[in-house]
Amino acid sequence: MLGINLVVHAIKILFHDIWATVRLTVFPMIIGYGIAFGVVYLLPGDTVFAVAGGASDVRTTPGASFFLAVFLALVVMAISFCWAAVGWHRFVLLEEQPGAILPKFSWPYTQSYLWAAFRTFLVLFVIVFLVMFVLPVLRAIGVGTSVFLFVIFIITIISYVLFFRISLVLPGAAVGKPMSLRQSWNATSGQIRTFLVIVVLSVGFGFLAEKVLLLGYVGWIISVFLSWLSFAFGISILTTLYGVYVEKREL
Protein backbone atom coordinates (compact mmCIF):
# COMPACT_ATOMS: atom_id res chain seq x y z
CA MET A 1 0.00 0.00 0.00
CA LEU A 2 1.35 3.41 -1.02
CA GLY A 3 0.62 5.03 2.36
CA ILE A 4 2.74 2.50 4.23
CA ASN A 5 5.51 2.73 1.62
CA LEU A 6 5.59 6.52 2.01
CA VAL A 7 5.85 6.26 5.80
CA VAL A 8 8.60 3.60 5.58
CA HIS A 9 10.55 5.73 3.10
CA ALA A 10 10.22 8.83 5.29
CA ILE A 11 11.61 6.90 8.27
CA LYS A 12 14.42 5.31 6.24
CA ILE A 13 15.79 8.63 5.01
CA LEU A 14 15.84 9.91 8.60
CA PHE A 15 18.29 7.20 9.62
CA HIS A 16 20.21 6.94 6.34
CA ASP A 17 22.71 9.55 7.55
CA ILE A 18 21.99 9.95 11.26
CA TRP A 19 24.71 12.58 11.85
CA ALA A 20 23.24 14.80 9.13
CA THR A 21 19.77 14.25 10.62
CA VAL A 22 21.01 15.32 14.06
CA ARG A 23 22.70 18.43 12.68
CA LEU A 24 19.59 19.37 10.72
CA THR A 25 16.85 18.63 13.24
CA VAL A 26 18.33 18.50 16.75
CA PHE A 27 20.85 21.33 17.05
CA PRO A 28 18.56 24.09 15.69
CA MET A 29 15.91 23.02 18.20
CA ILE A 30 18.39 23.08 21.09
CA ILE A 31 19.40 26.62 20.10
CA GLY A 32 15.75 27.64 19.76
CA TYR A 33 14.77 26.23 23.15
CA GLY A 34 17.86 27.78 24.75
CA ILE A 35 17.13 31.28 23.41
CA ALA A 36 13.42 30.96 24.27
CA PHE A 37 14.28 29.94 27.82
CA GLY A 38 16.70 32.85 28.09
CA VAL A 39 14.04 35.31 26.92
CA VAL A 40 11.54 33.98 29.48
CA TYR A 41 14.12 33.99 32.25
CA LEU A 42 15.42 37.51 31.54
CA LEU A 43 12.01 39.17 31.21
CA PRO A 44 9.32 37.88 33.59
CA GLY A 45 11.12 34.81 34.93
CA ASP A 46 9.62 35.17 38.39
CA THR A 47 6.07 35.14 37.05
CA VAL A 48 6.61 32.27 34.63
CA PHE A 49 8.25 29.99 37.15
CA ALA A 50 5.71 30.88 39.84
CA VAL A 51 2.87 29.94 37.50
CA ALA A 52 4.65 26.72 36.50
CA GLY A 53 5.20 25.87 40.17
CA GLY A 54 1.56 26.41 41.07
CA ALA A 55 2.18 29.40 43.36
CA SER A 56 -0.76 31.67 44.15
CA ASP A 57 0.87 34.97 45.10
CA VAL A 58 1.33 38.28 43.35
CA ARG A 59 4.00 36.81 41.05
CA THR A 60 1.33 34.82 39.23
CA THR A 61 -0.38 37.98 37.97
CA PRO A 62 0.83 38.32 34.37
CA GLY A 63 2.11 41.72 33.34
CA ALA A 64 3.10 43.18 29.98
CA SER A 65 6.59 41.69 30.22
CA PHE A 66 5.08 38.23 30.70
CA PHE A 67 3.08 38.38 27.48
CA LEU A 68 6.01 39.95 25.63
CA ALA A 69 8.28 37.12 26.78
CA VAL A 70 5.79 34.46 25.74
CA PHE A 71 5.35 36.11 22.33
CA LEU A 72 9.11 36.41 21.74
CA ALA A 73 9.69 32.83 22.89
CA LEU A 74 7.04 31.58 20.45
CA VAL A 75 8.61 33.59 17.62
CA VAL A 76 12.05 32.16 18.41
CA MET A 77 10.67 28.62 18.51
CA ALA A 78 8.80 29.11 15.23
CA ILE A 79 11.96 30.36 13.51
CA SER A 80 14.03 27.47 14.88
CA PHE A 81 11.43 24.94 13.71
CA CYS A 82 11.40 26.52 10.25
CA TRP A 83 15.20 26.68 10.16
CA ALA A 84 15.40 22.93 10.86
CA ALA A 85 12.60 22.11 8.42
CA VAL A 86 14.08 24.20 5.59
CA GLY A 87 17.46 22.56 6.11
CA TRP A 88 15.95 19.08 5.99
CA HIS A 89 13.84 19.72 2.89
CA ARG A 90 16.81 21.17 1.03
CA PHE A 91 19.09 18.35 2.19
CA VAL A 92 16.78 15.67 0.79
CA LEU A 93 15.33 17.40 -2.26
CA LEU A 94 18.36 19.46 -3.38
CA GLU A 95 21.15 17.44 -1.73
CA GLU A 96 22.30 20.61 0.02
CA GLN A 97 24.69 19.54 2.75
CA PRO A 98 24.47 21.08 6.24
CA GLY A 99 27.42 22.82 7.83
CA ALA A 100 29.84 21.08 10.15
CA ILE A 101 27.42 21.48 13.07
CA LEU A 102 24.35 23.39 11.95
CA PRO A 103 22.24 23.64 8.80
CA LYS A 104 22.74 26.75 6.73
CA PHE A 105 20.43 29.59 7.75
CA SER A 106 18.83 31.54 4.91
CA TRP A 107 16.33 34.16 6.03
CA PRO A 108 14.55 34.41 2.61
CA TYR A 109 13.77 30.67 2.63
CA THR A 110 12.92 30.68 6.33
CA GLN A 111 10.65 33.69 5.87
CA SER A 112 8.94 32.01 2.93
CA TYR A 113 8.49 28.87 5.03
CA LEU A 114 6.98 30.87 7.89
CA TRP A 115 4.47 32.44 5.51
CA ALA A 116 3.57 29.04 4.03
CA ALA A 117 3.12 27.61 7.53
CA PHE A 118 0.95 30.57 8.53
CA ARG A 119 -1.35 30.05 5.53
CA THR A 120 -1.59 26.32 6.18
CA PHE A 121 -2.40 26.62 9.87
CA LEU A 122 -4.78 29.52 9.25
CA VAL A 123 -6.94 27.22 7.13
CA LEU A 124 -6.88 24.56 9.86
CA PHE A 125 -7.68 27.19 12.51
CA VAL A 126 -10.76 28.30 10.58
CA ILE A 127 -11.93 24.69 10.32
CA VAL A 128 -11.40 24.07 14.05
CA PHE A 129 -13.13 27.37 14.85
CA LEU A 130 -16.20 26.32 12.87
CA VAL A 131 -16.20 22.88 14.50
CA MET A 132 -16.24 24.54 17.92
CA PHE A 133 -19.76 25.73 17.08
CA VAL A 134 -20.91 22.24 16.11
CA LEU A 135 -19.74 20.37 19.22
CA PRO A 136 -21.91 22.34 21.69
CA VAL A 137 -24.91 21.65 19.46
CA LEU A 138 -24.22 17.91 19.68
CA ARG A 139 -24.07 18.20 23.45
CA ALA A 140 -27.28 20.24 23.52
CA ILE A 141 -29.28 17.62 21.61
CA GLY A 142 -28.18 14.95 24.05
CA VAL A 143 -25.64 13.01 21.99
CA GLY A 144 -24.00 10.26 24.09
CA THR A 145 -20.38 10.47 25.20
CA SER A 146 -19.26 7.63 22.94
CA VAL A 147 -20.85 9.24 19.87
CA PHE A 148 -19.44 12.63 20.88
CA LEU A 149 -15.90 11.24 21.18
CA PHE A 150 -16.31 9.38 17.88
CA VAL A 151 -17.29 12.64 16.15
CA ILE A 152 -14.21 14.35 17.62
CA PHE A 153 -12.05 11.46 16.39
CA ILE A 154 -13.47 11.71 12.86
CA ILE A 155 -13.00 15.48 12.82
CA THR A 156 -9.38 15.02 13.96
CA ILE A 157 -8.68 12.52 11.18
CA ILE A 158 -10.29 14.75 8.56
CA SER A 159 -8.27 17.75 9.79
CA TYR A 160 -5.02 15.79 9.50
CA VAL A 161 -5.91 14.66 5.97
CA LEU A 162 -6.68 18.25 4.98
CA PHE A 163 -3.37 19.35 6.47
CA PHE A 164 -1.37 16.84 4.45
CA ARG A 165 -3.21 17.78 1.27
CA ILE A 166 -2.38 21.48 1.54
CA SER A 167 0.98 21.20 3.31
CA LEU A 168 3.13 20.64 0.21
CA VAL A 169 3.44 24.42 0.17
CA LEU A 170 5.97 23.97 2.99
CA PRO A 171 8.72 22.00 1.21
CA GLY A 172 7.93 24.06 -1.91
CA ALA A 173 8.79 27.23 0.00
CA ALA A 174 11.97 25.63 1.35
CA VAL A 175 13.35 24.80 -2.09
CA GLY A 176 12.47 28.16 -3.60
CA LYS A 177 9.43 27.00 -5.55
CA PRO A 178 6.45 28.57 -3.77
CA MET A 179 3.07 26.92 -4.31
CA SER A 180 -0.47 28.02 -3.63
CA LEU A 181 -2.69 25.99 -1.33
CA ARG A 182 -4.83 25.11 -4.35
CA GLN A 183 -1.79 23.77 -6.23
CA SER A 184 -0.94 21.55 -3.26
CA TRP A 185 -4.56 20.40 -3.05
CA ASN A 186 -4.66 19.55 -6.77
CA ALA A 187 -1.32 17.73 -6.63
CA THR A 188 -2.69 15.35 -3.98
CA SER A 189 -6.12 14.74 -5.50
CA GLY A 190 -7.41 11.17 -5.51
CA GLN A 191 -5.12 10.09 -2.66
CA ILE A 192 -7.56 10.07 0.28
CA ARG A 193 -6.89 6.43 1.23
CA THR A 194 -3.13 7.00 1.12
CA PHE A 195 -3.40 9.99 3.44
CA LEU A 196 -5.76 8.13 5.76
CA VAL A 197 -3.09 5.45 6.25
CA ILE A 198 -0.44 8.11 6.97
CA VAL A 199 -2.75 9.91 9.40
CA VAL A 200 -3.74 6.75 11.29
CA LEU A 201 -0.08 5.81 11.74
CA SER A 202 0.79 9.37 12.82
CA VAL A 203 -2.08 9.56 15.32
CA GLY A 204 -1.12 6.15 16.70
CA PHE A 205 2.44 7.34 17.20
CA GLY A 206 1.21 10.45 18.99
CA PHE A 207 -0.93 8.30 21.29
CA LEU A 208 2.14 6.20 22.13
CA ALA A 209 4.16 9.33 22.91
CA GLU A 210 1.51 10.44 25.42
CA LYS A 211 1.35 7.06 27.18
CA VAL A 212 5.09 6.85 27.91
CA LEU A 213 4.76 9.92 30.13
CA LEU A 214 3.17 7.58 32.67
CA LEU A 215 6.58 5.96 33.19
CA GLY A 216 7.95 8.81 35.33
CA TYR A 217 11.42 10.22 34.63
CA VAL A 218 12.25 7.40 32.22
CA GLY A 219 8.98 8.13 30.44
CA TRP A 220 9.90 11.81 30.25
CA ILE A 221 13.22 11.01 28.60
CA ILE A 222 11.52 8.65 26.16
CA SER A 223 8.87 11.29 25.52
CA VAL A 224 11.51 13.89 24.61
CA PHE A 225 13.02 11.44 22.14
CA LEU A 226 9.59 10.63 20.69
CA SER A 227 8.77 14.33 20.42
CA TRP A 228 11.93 14.87 18.38
CA LEU A 229 11.16 11.80 16.29
CA SER A 230 7.62 13.05 15.70
CA PHE A 231 8.92 16.41 14.46
CA ALA A 232 11.63 14.80 12.34
CA PHE A 233 9.14 12.33 10.87
CA GLY A 234 6.70 15.15 10.16
CA ILE A 235 9.12 17.12 7.99
CA SER A 236 10.44 13.91 6.46
CA ILE A 237 6.99 12.72 5.37
CA LEU A 238 6.26 16.18 3.91
CA THR A 239 9.53 15.98 1.98
CA THR A 240 8.61 12.52 0.71
CA LEU A 241 5.12 13.64 -0.32
CA TYR A 242 6.54 16.63 -2.18
CA GLY A 243 9.04 14.45 -3.98
CA VAL A 244 6.40 11.94 -5.04
CA TYR A 245 3.41 14.18 -5.85
CA VAL A 246 5.10 17.36 -7.09
CA GLU A 247 8.47 16.24 -8.45
CA LYS A 248 7.09 12.81 -9.50
CA ARG A 249 9.99 10.89 -7.96
CA GLU A 250 9.96 7.15 -7.46
CA LEU A 251 10.21 5.78 -3.94
Q: What is the pLDDT of residues 21-38, one digit of tens each?
A: 999 999 999 999 889 888
Higher per-residue pLDDT: 228 or 239? 239
Question: Is there a contact between 24 and 84 (Cβ–Cβ < 8 Å)?
Answer: yes
Tell me what the pLDDT averaged over the chain comes to.
Answer: 83
Please give the Cα distance from 14 to 231 (Å, whole number). Answer: 11
Higher pLDDT, 114 or 100: 114
Environment class of 104 (CB within 10 Å of its CB; exposed 0-12, middle 13-18, buried 19+): middle
- What share of the chain has pLDDT > 90, as a percent? 46
pLDDT digits (tens, 9 = 90+) for 36-80: 888 777 765 555 555 555 454 444 555 667 777 788 889 999 999
Which one-letter DSSP state was computed for residue 97? Answer: P
Helices (H) and strands (E) in the chain, counts: 11, 0
User: What's the whole-number mean pLDDT along residues 78-100?
Assistant: 94
Q: Say how far apart CA 41 and CA 155 lie, in whole Å.
A: 38
Domain ranges of the chain: 2-245
Residue 237 has a pLDDT of: 94
Q: Compare 207 and 178 and report the one with higher pLDDT.
A: 178
pLDDT band at 145 (very low <50, low <70, confident <90, very high): confident
